[in-house]
A and B are shown apart, each in its own frame.
Chain A
């Protein structure tokens, strides 16, 4: 059965807790709880007794030719042991290199080296944490230099080599499609849907540099409502997905009233159900 939830943020906590009848699951940012007082962890455990939680990491840098440091995996392992979430996820990104912390998710060169590096990092995660994360495709403002694969091929190779599942971020697909000129529906046609277990939806905005105002790019900022093209992609996902999906709405600021976010969740439920209805009867699982 498909499930629908929201990213857990302090600003949304009251609204989420008051509307649990409409929220099947919440997604918690792991790094928000790596260095917090025990009372906050207890509060999160209490939350997990009211609604299922999944953990979402943003700082490991798994898609890199550089091995993820064991101490970082150890910290995630301890948090997972404490919270016992239903599952956890991380990004297909690199976040540091040569002593520099980039501060956010950066798209690595899509090469054989980063495919192999990612697979090794997921194997390390499996060994230390006990389970591989579901991996999420990221949005990018820059076409990663030195790439030898396009994004669907690169992601598919990593999934094949590492045996991990895919958290498919549809706003990231849309963002990269408009930034780099590919068809997002073709992207959906080329990924292994038997590995897709979760979906992110979000919004963003167009930005441009002062020196190139005529060449805007889409920024996946999670500060805006889910745009229509993302619901269209969710409908297409529903027509392709063979497994139950967990759909998470991400919102990181400029928070509207919770009812507006719940309306976006309802729109997501409708879009996915419409897509599911397009599947041949024997493949339908929703």
Chain B
């Protein structure tokens, strides 16, 4: 399993709502287009769907909170 690429894919679907929607409509296709292995594609096919929705919502709230200046973090959140 190519973890850096897999982690990058997870970060993308956690952060980017459009990417998440595309992934949810075609998990294996999106995994393949991202260059992930069949094993990684299978892992994503079996993803915890309920958790993905709740976690991505929670992460978004955190980013908004940070962006409002509640916490000082070294870099702005969202896509660099």
A98 touches B66 (CB 8 A): no
Q: In the complex, A142 Cα to B5 Cα: how many Å? A: 19
Within 8 A of B (CB), among A56-113: 59, 64-66, 72, 75, 94, 96-104, 106, 108-109, 111, 113
Among A197-219, those with CB < 8 Å from B are 207-209, 211-212, 215, 217, 219
A101 touches B10 (CB 8 A): no
Nearest-CB distance from B75 to chain A (Å)? Answer: 6
DSSP class of A's interface residues: helix, strand, loop or mixed?
Answer: mixed
User: Is B7 in contact with A66, judged by CB distance below 8 angstroms?
Assistant: yes
| Contact-size category for A | 35 or more
- The contact of A103 among B6, B44, B50, B63, by CB within 8 Å, is B63
Decide yes or no whether A35 CB sits under 8 A from chain B. yes
Contact of B74 among A59, A65, A108, A219 (CB under 8 A): A59
> By the criterion CB–CB under 8 Å, are B71 and A103 in contact?
no
Contact indicator A117/B3 (Cβ below 8 Å) = yes
Known: A100-B79, A103-B62, A104-B58. A211 touches B74 (CB 8 A): no
The answer, among A29, A59, A66, A145, for a CB contact under 8 Å with B48, is A145
Interface string of B63-80 (1 = CB under 8 A from A): 100100001111111111
Is the pair B6, A146 in contact by a Cβ cutoff of 8 Å? yes
> Once the chains bind, are A98 and B12 in contact (CB under 8 Å)?
yes
**Would you call B17 an interface residue if the criterion is a C-beta within 8 Å of the partner chain's C-beta atoms?**
no
Given contacts A99-B79, A103-B66, A106-B55, contact A72 B74 (CB under 8 A): yes
Within the complex, the shortest CB–CB distance from B18 to chain A, in Å, comes to 13
Complex-state Cα separation, A31 to B69, whole angstroms: 12
- Residue numbers of B with Cβ under 8 A of A are 1, 3-12, 14-16, 40, 43-44, 46-55, 57-60, 62-63, 66, 71-80
